[in-house]
Structure formats: structure tokens, C-alpha cells
Amino acid sequence: MKRFILIVTGILLFMQSRAQINGSVIDAQTGEVLPGVNVQLLHQSKGSSTDARGHFILSTGKTEDSVQVSFIGYQSRKLTLQQPFIISLTPKTASLNEIIVTSSRDRQNRTDAPVAISTISTQEMRDTKATSLEQLLNKVSGVYMVDLGNEQHTMAIRQPIGYKSLFLYMEDGIPIRTIGDFNHNALIEINMAALKNIEVIRGPASSLYGSEAVGGAVNFITAAPSLQPAVKVQAEASDRGYKRTDFNISNTFNKAGITIGGYYADQRNGYMDHSDFHKLALTLRADYQINERNKWINAATLVNYYTDQVGGLDSTHFYNKDYRNFQTFSYRKVNALRYRSTLEHTWDNTNHTTLTAFFRHNSIGQNPFYALKNSATDPLKAAGEINDDSFNSYGLIIQHKKQFAWKNASLIAGVSADYSPATYLANYIDVTKNSAGYFTGYTKTDSVLTDYNAGLLNTAAYAQLDMELVQGLKVLAAVRYDRMDYNFDNHLPPSAYTGAPDDRNNFNALTPKLGLTYDFGRSRGLYANYSVGFAPPNISELYDGVKVPVLKPATYRNYEAGGWFGFANDKGYADVSVYKMNGTNEIISVKLNDGSYENRNTGGTTHRGIEWNVRYAVLRSLWIRSSGTYAEHFFNKYIEKGVVYDGNQMSGAPKVIMNTELTWKLKGFRLSGEWQHISRYYMDPQNTRYYKGYNLLNARTGYAWRNIECWMNCRNIGDIIYSTTSEKTAYGTTYRPGPKRTFNIGLAYTFTGKK
């Protein structure tokens, strides 16, 4: 008996000496699990890394052992082992290196990507408390997202302000709209309340994403389910009639995680008349970790949106702050549904495959102010239209990644197909005006301007290879082939406004990319790349209002170099990029004398500039960030109505765009001031008149105590008169007024449970 007791005691002591510690690592801000985190025992040579579920197992002989937990882009932690063991890592305030996904369609270090890429973090979004996306995206160097009111917008990334299909907007790497049916207001369809972060690539990304990824690609990354129960609700209101409520609910149940988030916004009686709007956005995401090798992700986003449309003002009304709207009946309504189902399979340590099926339904109905055309004979008459642009999408993306031991090489290859039958219907309306120039009403008619179906099919194959040639020097080579087929079926006769004959049009593109990065160590490095971008005409550009399609696809060749530098003691970093992009057959939007717009090809354009981004900690609690660009955009070859514009600057192209912010944080309190600068730019391609630009000051303050947070933001502190975009034609000069001084106040409550 004594011998038996000794044996049992020995076994128990051995088991205690070989104790296993189970734990998980999560993001302290979002609650998401973090795979690939390094967990190292401090007093032993043993360590582990978290798996796909953020879980790790450590064998230790001492219960009092401590571990060090580290991960790229996060603050390292040292702590004592305990059970249960859930470790929260806090993202660094300004990390030079972080994990990104957009530049390669897969997880990689930011400093390994030979592109100009910026990330808007979870913390930055939470501190900004943005009510529209331009308040976030305008913090990125080289980006000017133009506020057109009520979340309406257009974009300028390495391009002048315009309305063309040169920017690709994605949600979790999938375009939110089909290729060939671009809408410059597409970001209306984003659910801001469901986002984890935003990644912005400046310059062509066509070698991976295809058409429209020319000036830039913006990837909105949705938040994954949290490991522990989490609930957040918030409400805010402004002194200009804006109200909004957000919510998020998230949790993981064993292998399944679910998160749902959304918001409802409502605007009434704003600083401009006829400028009300409302929007409902909901996102549901469910992640199921089938086993260690397989993960299944399903996500759906629903958006219902309606707004009164506000047009531009003439100089008299604009400078007198007389913001009465000339259009009293124009509107835009959007109904959008997106669904994706992604299966991820890890074959072994070197092979990983993803398969994504997706569906989109989208409908945009309008009585657009920009379609109003004045009568040539009667000053009290005009013409307009009511239109509807709708499509469904059925798509599939298959991608495989193979890693090699030789030269640390990896190969990513994939194929995709997107079939989107689309319809477009526009009915003519008679419009009445008064002597003051206001469009007062309209009468529906039986006249049909446009009525067609178009089958849009985009098929593509792509591959990207990267390897380390010598220590520190990496090379990347990528190529993509796209074929875009438009099957146009016109329901109207040749005499109609849209009288183009039934036709099948196709466009092909081979878009290569070659890039290099060199890491000098100590957070310093350089990169260079050559890339090609491609943008075919949209179906509305190609067929709407024409008898014979005449637009050609646009091609862009981009040459770029840059570098990064990390300040000592993790005090921040600086990065810079220079580029030159030559465009051929670039499609520009031309405002005609009657006030309407028409798309045309140019012969050639040049876009060149320098972009910079600096983040620096003056003190531990005091940060400064400055992002900006100096750029030139001009015609190489362009003739319009016999007028030669060669050498002229393109209209709507400010040379300097800057956004600088100073932020102070101390014990739950934060205070920041932001300066947005847009330099002067020409309002017409003739370069006869320019808009002086503007300087805008914003302030934000907030306080967080336990589970409660309150804040107050002020836009346009100086209540200045400024225009977000300005245009001049023979018809007149129009200004889109920016918001007057606006105060927003809000209150949020967050509950986080424990497991």
C-alpha cells in the first residue's frame, strides 16, 4: 500500500510539473481572436503561437511562469500564467508595420508590400466618430473624398475631382458593385457601424483586382465576431437636424461566432432646404470554425437609403450664404443587398485555399438634378428624367496560396467570374421654372428616353509571385487577365434618345505589375513599382443617350517609388511616395452649356506627385499626424470643339491636399484639432478661372469612463464659406457648399461579458 501511494504521488508530481496552460489572444478593441500571435515562456525556451481560433497551448513546469505575448502592430505584454487565460493585446498608436490584406489578397506585413497603402484603424474610427466616410478617408495622404451632402460623394485619388470609374470600392476584398456599372456615390452602400478598419491603396491595383482599380482601391474590412459577449449602443444628434443610432452585438459560441451591427441616420431641416435624408444599414456576419483546417464565413449587408438631392449654387447665392436649393423635387434612393459565403481551407503549413461565392442586388432610382436641361426657347421651361439603374450579381472567386522554402517565396493565383444582368430605364419629364431660376415642379410624360437590358460578364485569372532575392531585398511580380463582355439589348427604336443598336461589346486587358522592397533594418526601407491600370466604359457611359457607342477603354501606366522611416522608441513613423501616371483615352466628365454632363475620351493625360504621411508622439499622451500630397494633373493631348487643351491643367485638380491633426489623450479624456487644406484649382479645362480652395478647422473631444463614453464634435469651427467642388462652363459657375458650423454630441454604452 505504501508503494502504491508513492507511485500515485510521483505521477501527480510529474503531471503537475508538465502542466498545460490553455489560452486565447484577442484584440483589446474589437474582441476578435488573433491568429499567429507569438506566446513565449520567459523562464524557458518553449513557446507557442495562436491557431486560427486565437487559441494556444503551453506546457510548463512552473505555475508561476510568466509569458511574453507579441504580434506585429500590437503592444507586447508580459504577464503571469493563470487559468482561464484570455490575453488582450492593444494595437500600437502609430505602428510602421502592421498586418494588411488588400495589397496581396492575403495577410502580409505592410513593409513587404511595394505599394502606397494606408490603414484607418479601429481606434482612429472610434476617436473620429465620423457621421460620413469622407471624415475618415480625408485623413489618408493623396485622398480627397468630396462631400456632396447626406453621405453622397465623389473621389479624387491621384486624379482630379471627377465622376468616372477610376476607383474600386470593396467590402472584404469583393467589389461592392459590379464592373461596368460604376456609381461615384457607391459608398452610400457601406455600413460604417460594421467596420473593423479601412485599407486604401493609392495607384493602380488592377493586377489583383482588375478594372477600375486605377486611381486607387479602398477596402472596407468588416469586424469578425468577438470571443466574449459584447454589446454596444450609441446615439448622437447635431444642431443641424441630424440624428443617428448605432448598435453592435457580438459573441462566439464554441466554434461559431456571430456579430450584427448597423445604424439608422435621419436628417431633417438642415442648413439647405430640400436636403433631408434617411438611411438604414445592417450587417450580419457568422464565422464557423469547422476544425483547425477549415473555416466558413457568411456575411450579408442590407442598405436602404433615400435623400433629397441638392445641386450647385451660383456665385451670388453661394457667397451670400443663401443656401436655398434651386431643385425642389430631385431625389436619389438606393436599395442594396450583398451576401458572400467564403470557405477557407488550410491543406498544410504551405498551402491555403479560399473559395468565395457572392450575390449582389442593387437598385438606384433618381430624379436627378444633373439631368436637368434648360429649354433653348423658353426660360421658364426645362427637361429632365426619372431613371432607375438596377442589377443582380452572381459571382465566384477561387484563390490558392503556396509558400516555398526557397527564397521565402510565395505564389498566389486565382480565377473569378461575375455575371450581372442589368437594366436601365429613364422616362422624360417636363420641368417648370420660375423667373428666379428655381425648378419648381415637373410633369410625367409617356416619352421613354432609355430602356435597355445589359448582360455584364467579367471573367479573370491572376497570379502574384514574391520572393526574397537576398536578405532584405524582395521582388514581386503579378499579372492579371480580364475579359469583359457587354450584351446590350435595346428596347427602343434608333430614333430614340438612346438609339444605339443591339450589340455585343467586349474589352480585354492584361495588367502586369513589378515591385521591389528593400528593408535596411531598424524600421527603414524603400520600395518601387511599375503597374498598369485599366478602365472600360460603363454601360451608362457607352449606351445611354447615344446612337452609336464611341467611348474607348482607358489605360494607365504608373511608375512609383517610396520609402518609410520609423522614429526611435516607437514614437511614430514617416512614409513618402512619388509617382507618375500616364493615361491614354482617359474618360472625363464634361459639363455642357445646358447644364448636363457628357463623358468623353481624352487623347492623353499625365498625373504626377508626391505623397507623405507622418505620425509622431511629441509626448506619450500627445500625437501629431500630417498627411498630404502635392500633385499635378494636365492634358497631354485633348481637343474639344476645335479648342486645343494640350498642356492645360485638368479642371478640379488642386495641387496641394493636406490633413493635419493634433491629438491629446489622458485618463479617458481626449481632445483633437484637425486642419483640412485644399489649394486653389482651375474650374474649367480652358484654365480661365480658378476656385481659391479652402482651409477647414474641425475639433473633437470625448471622455470614456468605464462602460460609458460621451463626445462632442465641431465641424467648420470658423463657420467659413467653402465649396467642396466648383465648376465653370459657358452655362455658368456652380459651387457645392460645404456644411456650415455643426456641433454633434453623442453618448455610447458598451457591455463586455466574460467567459
| Element of type H or E holding 168 | strand 167-171
With 60 as the cut, is the pLDDT of residue 8 above it? no
The answer to whether 24 and 257 have CB atoms below 8 angstroms apart is no
- Please state, for a pLDDT cut of 90, what percent of the chain lies above it: 63
The answer to whether 624 and 613 have CB atoms below 8 angstroms apart is no
Q: List the domain range (segments joined by +) for residue 543.
A: 220-752
DSSP code per residue over 550-563: ----EEEEEEEEEE
3 DSSP assignment: H
Q: How far apart are CA 321 and CA 720, in angstroms?
A: 10
DSSP code per residue over 340-368: EEEEEEEEETTEEEEEEEEEEEEEEEEE-
DSSP code per residue over 725-739: EEEEETTEEEEEEPP
Which of 671, 672, 669, 673 is CA-nearest to residue 704? 669
With 70 as the cut, is the pLDDT of residue 444 above it? yes
Q: How far apart are CA 279 and CA 277, in angstroms?
A: 7
Residue 150 lies in a domain: no
Supply the pLDDT for residue 1: 53
188 DSSP assignment: G
- CA–CA distance from 340 to each of 170, 299, 388, 395 (Å)? 12, 5, 25, 9
With 90 as the cut, is the pLDDT of residue 579 above it? yes
DSSP code per residue over 273-336: SS--EEEEEEEEEEEEEEETTEEEEEEEEEEEEEEE----B-HHHHHTT----SBSS-EEEEEE
- Please state, for a pLDDT cut of 70, what percent of the chain lies above it: 94
* pLDDT band for position 582 (cuts 50, 70, 90): very high
| Element of type H or E holding 5 | helix 2-17
Residue 609 lies in a domain: yes
Supply the pLDDT for residue 457: 97
Three-class SS string for 446-464?
EEEEEEEEEEEEEEEEEEE
Residue 84: cis peptide before it, omega within 30 degrees of 0: yes
Q: pLDDT tens for residues 530-569?
A: 999 988 888 988 888 887 777 788 899 999 999 999 998 8
Supply the pLDDT for residue 639: 79
With 60 as the cut, is the pLDDT of residue 447 above it? yes
The answer to whether 662 and 672 have CB atoms below 8 angstroms apart is yes
Taking residues 336-353, report their average pLDDT: 96
Which of 598, 604, 606 is CA-nearest to residue 729? 598
* pLDDT band for position 7 (cuts 50, 70, 90): low
Q: pLDDT tens for residues 604-614?
A: 899 999 999 99
The amino acid present at 444, given as its one-letter code, is K
Taking residues 615-624, report their average pLDDT: 91
Taking residues 623-646, report their average pLDDT: 89
609 DSSP assignment: E
Three-state secondary-structure class, residue 438? coil
Supply the pLDDT for residue 402: 96
The amino acid present at 502, given as its one-letter code, is D
Q: How far apart are CA 460 and CA 481, in angstroms?
A: 5
Q: Quick one: 655 and 507 in the same domain?
A: yes
716 DSSP assignment: S
The amino acid present at 188, given as its one-letter code, is I
Termini Cα distance of the chain: 42
φ/ψ of residue 268, rounded to 5: -140, 140
Point out the least confidently predicted range of 175-179, 364-368, 512-516, 545-549: 545-549
- CA–CA distance from 709 to each of 479, 622, 678, 702, 748 (Å)? 48, 20, 33, 7, 5
Supply the pLDDT for residue 16: 46
Residue 70 lies in a domain: yes
The set of cell numbers assigned to 424 is 436601365
With 50 as the cut, is the pLDDT of residue 15 above it? no
- Domain boundary at 68, 89, 110, which? 89
Which of 638, 663, 662 is CA-nearest to residue 648? 638
With 90 as the cut, is the pLDDT of residue 451 above it? yes
Query: Which tops the pLDDT comparison, 30 or 307?
Result: 307
φ/ψ of residue 128, rounded to 5: -70, -35
Supply the pLDDT for residue 62: 60
Taking residues 470-486, report their average pLDDT: 94
Supply the pLDDT for residue 57: 82
The answer to whether 424 and 452 have CB atoms below 8 angstroms apart is yes
Supply the pLDDT for residue 423: 97
With 80 as the cut, is the pLDDT of residue 98 above it? no
Q: How far apart are CA 175 and CA 271, in angstroms?
A: 34
Residue 491 lies in a domain: yes
With 90 as the cut, is the pLDDT of residue 93 above it? no
- Domain boundary at 26, 60, 89, which? 89
Q: pLDDT tens for residues 737-752?
A: 999 999 999 999 999 8
501 DSSP assignment: P
Which of 510, 614, 605, 609 is CA-nearest to residue 560? 609
With 50 as the cut, is the pLDDT of residue 576 above it? yes
Q: How far apart are CA 471 and CA 476, in angstroms?
A: 15
Q: pLDDT tens for residues 715-742?
A: 999 999 999 999 987 778 899 999 999 9
Residue 118 lies in a domain: no
Q: How far apart are CA 322 and CA 318, in angstroms?
A: 6
Q: Exposure of 665 by Cβ count < 10 A (0-12 exposed, 13-18 middle, 19+ buried)?
A: middle
Point out the least confidently predicted range of 27-36, 118-127, 524-533: 27-36
Residue 361 lies in a domain: yes
With 80 as the cut, is the pLDDT of residue 3 above it? no
Task: Say how many CA atoms lie within 13 Å of 473 toward its Cβ.
Answer: 2
Query: Is the pTM above the cut of 0.85?
Result: yes
Supply the pLDDT for residue 18: 53
With 50 as the cut, is the pLDDT of residue 445 above it? yes
CATH number at residue 20: 2.60.40.1120
Q: pLDDT tens for residues 228-269?
A: 999 999 999 999 999 999 999 999 998 999 999 999 999 999
Point out the least confidently predicted range of 16-20, 402-406, 685-689, 744-748: 16-20
CATH number at residue 519: 2.40.170.20
Residue 621 lies in a domain: yes
With 60 as the cut, is the pLDDT of residue 2 above it? no
The answer to whether 645 and 688 have CB atoms below 8 angstroms apart is no
Q: Please, where are the H alpha helices in 491-575? A: 539-543
Residue 156 lies in a domain: no
Domain count of the chain? 2
- Domain boundary at 58, 89, 120, which? 89
| Element of type H or E holding 134 | helix 134-137
Q: pLDDT tens for residues 53-71?
A: 888 887 766 655 788 888 8
Point out the least confidently predicted range of 189-198, 204-213, 216-225, 387-396: 204-213
Which of 299, 307, 310, 424 is CA-nearest to residue 362? 424
- CA–CA distance from 537 to each of 506, 507, 555, 586, 599 (Å)? 11, 9, 11, 10, 9
Q: Quick one: 224 and 85 in the same domain?
A: no
Which of 517, 499, 489, 495 is CA-nearest to residue 422? 489
Q: pLDDT tens for residues 383-426?
A: 999 999 999 999 999 999 999 999 999 999 999 999 999 999 99
